[in-house]
Structure 1
Amino acid sequence: MSRNRAFSQDCTPAVIQNRKMLSRKFSDVIGDRLNIENIIEHSPITAKEKKKVEYDFGKLSVEDIYPKSKSGIITEEFMNELLKILVQYVHKTFDRKSKILDFHHPHQFLDGIEGFSLDLDVGPQSLEQLLVDCRDTLKYGVKTGHPRFFNQLSSGLDVISLAAEWVTSTANTNMFTFEIAPVFVCMETIVLRKMRQIIGWEDGEGDGIFSPGGSINNMYAAMIARNLSCPDVKKLGMKHSPDIVMFVSKHAHYSNSRPAITLGIGTDNVILVDVDNRGRMKPCDLEKKIQTALLNGKQPFYVCATAATTVLGAFDPITPISAICKKYGLWLHVDAAWGGGALMSRKHRFLLRGIDRADSVTWNPHKMMGITLQCSALLIKHKNLLEECNKMEASYLFQQDKHYDVSYDTGDKTIQCGRHVDVFKLWLSWRAKGDEGFEKHVDKCIEMSTYMTNRIKSLEGFELVMDKPQYTNVCFWYLPPWMRTMQKDSTRDQLLGKIAPIIKARMMECGSTMIGYQPLDDKVNFFRCVISNHAVEKCDVDFLLDEIQRLGENLKLVQ
């Protein structure tokens, strides 16, 4: 990346002399640590030529940019070079001819590959090397925004929220008090109210917080419910807690059972509720297990319903579940981390019918709404409960005699102290797209999943796990030609379970596309395609299915 300084051809003697001076001074940078920006600014060269000066970043270091350097010219040029790398990566992300990844094994990264080393015992590096490191870090990563990346619930690369993330990092502030994040704290207030209104809570009243992921927000919900049920535990500990139990679907995300570990409840006190043949929680089994727990001397306190399960994309029936919770006085949390985006669609929000009856909701805009990671909100129907649960009243942060309304100091609501600004990228994207833009995003993703489902039905060698998915999770098996005539029995299942991992490995080795797989209950490994990227077109769905066929049609297994 070493660069020569470029100058115009119409040289005058004065300009030539200036160039010699510049060349001499630049060559002495490492030894003398001269202030290059000062030399350029005070040299009698034209502004036009100043713009044409290019820096040899191989001879410059962190000492030549902010905050070490007083002038910003080299800092600006370094940032411009970095921006070129980032923009080039964005272009490649949307280029269907570009590979999704250049796969290497962990030991290769740890040992160093092709000049890309993770070693920290090398001393300070030049700015040129830092730019190379940035480029290589992106080069060997996974392009999760690529239209042929179907591996995770969060995919795509929204340019507006990406730009907002750059702004957020530049601001480099903290969300715990209004005094250091006044605009962002007020934005969070506005956005959370908007999301509560969309859920259907009256006037958008309630509370909420942005946290680092749906798992944390699911834990917050259980914490609030436990604090209401066992208020003495906060001060006196679990020895003063009754024998409490919580209820989650057997297909719920694992983070909905993890609060039992974090809160000291114990995983034996997480009661799994059965699901129907489409993966939805059975309300009748929920009530039966609540009654059994009561008969056994347990104290039920919390139920978690799921709006779009991780694997099948199933929506639990919230309305009957909420009626059961009301009957037994239980807190109802809805984990809509994945499915919450459907609330933005007038056509599909029926999937979450009854969500307004929930006490709390987890909603991840970094999934179906396409916002860059991370962007996850906990919405609470009732005011003040989050703060009551977590308040520590640190006098060095949350002074009550400040000259502004201290209710906007949000830090005492959370288990964190420092909290990243996650709201700005959602706020800016909402400004850019409006409700209508998010609605189009959701509708298109579901339309693409319907197209994929119909394509799979028409293809030989493909079998759907569920004939009609509820959401954009399309789950299926691929059977190589030799397996298609086999009898459906345990022998075939044993072999079939090996197909998806092998095809996935081949897929990653060639870097053409990515899709997830997993077993579920008595079903052996199957592919799970999730579509949340607005850039996905029918041609990308076709490519994925064609690529699975190409990589799997000659696959042989020893029986």
Structure 2
Amino acid sequence: METILLKKMYEIIGWGETEGDGLFSPGGSISNLYGILIARYKQYPEIKRKGMTVLPGIVLFVSEQGHYSVKKAAAILGIGTDNVIEVKCDERGKMIPAELEKNILQAKRKGQTPFCVTATAGSTVLGAFDPLQDIADICERHNLWMHVDAAWGGGLLLSRNHSYKLSGIERANSVTWNPHKLMGVPLQCSAILIREKGLLEACNQMQAGYLFQPDKLYNVDFDTGDKTIQCGRHVDIFKLWLMWKAKGTSGFEAQINRYMELAKYFYNVLKKKDNFKLVLDAEPEFTNVCFWYFPPRLKHIPKGFERDQELQKIAPKIKAQMLEEGTAMISYQPCGDKVNFFRMVFSNPATRQTDVDYLIDEIERLGKDL
């Protein structure tokens, strides 16, 4: 079952029949850790026996909008968070390829050794997709491992209307893809997919004699446990297999396209309202829609520090009132120089346009006197 579905995911990414390996992990953070772990092993296989002392000063790259788990993985693996270089993004939150190349060259001039780039397909806050083709070109030029964190955005590969946003993912060396996000599979269900066969096992295997005997009755290729950094694991594959059997790829596609339509509808409604302002004044690339609500009293304060100080407090207050009344839950956060804003993400198949309209009305009701 696991082998069949992993093969299906490799094919959807665009890897060939002879390529592809993978396993299911406890979540996207662990899948990203696997990607970086395997990237390091590929470049420096002797680390498995000799440890960090055999390494030069290695560094990896991620966009400034990338997931925090990349830094966490660097801390866990002994690489160090100071050796994660954040690459500037454009106004939409996408990594700028020229900045990546500049950062790689700067690192080399400092005597550091680049080994990996983590690109993002569907960033957590803005829902941005890094330009994967351009990043792949740079990785090939500098002989760097390319990992794609598609934990959030990987499901878009199932939509013929939107899969082009991940163009170039087939050139990645490893991919994180969480079916428990956009595809709606119950937690936990995250896959780490490695293009080169054998690397996962070579990096992680310890050949424990009480588990992985080579002379078992059945085909020992089904013993995937020695590829992992765990021992006991959940059977995370079954619920995904069952959902795929029930929905089919076309069912997932219709569901995901519906999310995209709702995001566009939400964006178009907000754009027409005077008391709402979109963080990105462009049609959403994904299901993330980020916006501010302006109470009437703030509309007359000129743009600047004073208004930002007041606006910063609005989203937390509205969310607190929503929670107290039990009407809705919506996340908020600051981002860079932007003060707290709401982040609406569509990933629930039960959501309808009426729910979107209700949320807007509720924000206005609770926020008008703030």
TM-score higher than 0.5 here?
yes
The equivalent of 2:368 in structure 1 is: 553
SS of residue paired to 1:365:
coil
Letter in 1 for 2:169: I
The answer for unaligned runs of 5 or more in structure 1 is 1-186
Q: 2:300 aligns with which of 482, 485, 488?
A: 485
Match of 1:511 among 323, 326, 341: 326
Partner of 2:191: 377
Pairwise CA distance, 1:226: 0.6
The CA deviation at 1:205 is: 2.9
> Of residues 207, 221, 237 in structure 2, which corresponds to 1:407?
221
1:460 shift after superposition: 2.1
Contact 1:195 1:204 in 2 (8 A): no
Aligned residue type for 1:476: F
Q: Does 1:212 align with 2:26?
A: yes
Matches within 5 A, 1:525-536: 525-536=340-351
Per the TM alignment, residue 204 of structure 1 is displaced from its structure 2 partner at its CA by: 6.9
Residue in structure 2 matched with residue 221 of structure 1 by the alignment = 35
- Corresponding position of 1:443: 257
For 1:251, the equivalent position in structure 2 comes to: 65
Aligned residue among 275, 282, 287 for 1:472 = 287
Give the CA deviation at 1:227: 0.7
> Per-residue deviation at 1:408?
1.3
- What does 1:427-466 correspond to in 2, within 5 Å? 427-466=241-280
For residue 543 of structure 1, what is the aligned residue in structure 2? 358
Cα-to-partner distance string for 1:274-331 (whole Å, 9 max, x where unaligned) = 0001000000000111011111111110000000100000000000000000011100
Which of residues 290, 307, 330 is equivalent to 2:104? 290
Q: Distance in 1 between matches of 2:271 and 2:218?
A: 62
Residues 48-197 of structure 1: matches in 2 within 5 Å? Answer: 187-197=1-11
Task: Tell me the SS of whatever aligns to 1:471.
Answer: coil
One-letter code aligned to 1:419? R
Partner of 2:53, secondary structure, is helix
1:331 corresponds to: 145
Shift of 1:203: 2.4
Residue pair 1:248, 1:257 contacting (<8 A) in 2 also: no
Question: Which residue in 1 is equivalent to 2:46?
Answer: 232
Secondary structure of the corresponding residue to residue 330 of structure 2: strand
Q: TM-score with structure 1 length normalisation?
A: 0.65
- SS of aligned partner of 2:149: strand
Shift of 1:469: 1.7
Q: Which residue of 1 aligns with 2:161?
A: 347
* Corresponding residue SS for 2:321: helix
Alpha-carbon distance between aligned partners in 2 of 1:388 and 1:291, rounded to the nearest angstrom = 31
The 2-side partners of 1:432 and 1:295 are apart by: 54
Distance 2:180 2:167 in 1: 22
SS of alignment partner, residue 341 of structure 2: strand
Amino acid corresponding to residue 56 of structure 2 in structure 1: P
SS for the counterpart of 1:203 is coil
> Which structure's residues are more often strand, by fraction?
2
- Matching residue of 2:233: 419
Matched residue, 1:313: 127
| Paired residue type of 2:13 | I
- Aligned mates of 1:419, 1:285 — CA distance in 2: 40
Q: Structure 1: which amino acid aligns with 2:22?
A: G
* CA-to-aligned-CA distance 1:35-91 (integer Å, 9 cap, x gap): xxxxxxxxxxxxxxxxxxxxxxxxxxxxxxxxxxxxxxxxxxxxxxxxxxxxxxxxx
CA distance in structure 2 between the partners assigned to 1:203 and 1:532 by the alignment: 31
Q: For the aligned residues, what is the CA RMSD?
A: 0.8
CA contact (8 A) 1:196 1:204 kept: no
> How far apart are the structure 2 equivalents of 1:230 and 1:384?
15
TM-score using structure 2 length: 0.99
Q: Which residue of 2 aligns with 1:522?
A: 337
Residues paired across the two proteins, number: 369
For residues 213-259 of structure 1, give each alpha carbon's deviation from its aligned partner in whole angstroms, at most 9, with x where no partner exists: 00000000000011112222111111111110000011001001211
Q: Shift of the alpha carbon at 1:264?
A: 0.3
CA distance in 2, matches of 1:420, 1:352: 29
| CA-to-aligned-CA distance 1:177-196 (integer Å, 9 cap, x gap) | xxxxxxxxxx1100000011
Q: Distance in 1 between matches of 2:112 and 2:274?
A: 52
Q: Which residue identity lines up with residue 166 of structure 2 in the other structure?
A: L
Distance in 1 (CA, whole Å) between partners of 2:110 and 2:274 is: 52
Partner of 2:207: 393
Deviation at 1:402, TM superposition (A): 1.1
Structure 2 residues without counterparts, runs of 5 or longer = none
Closer/same/farther in 2, CA of residues 241 and 498 from structure 1, 3 Å limit = same
Distance in 2 of aligned mates of 1:453 and 1:319 = 28
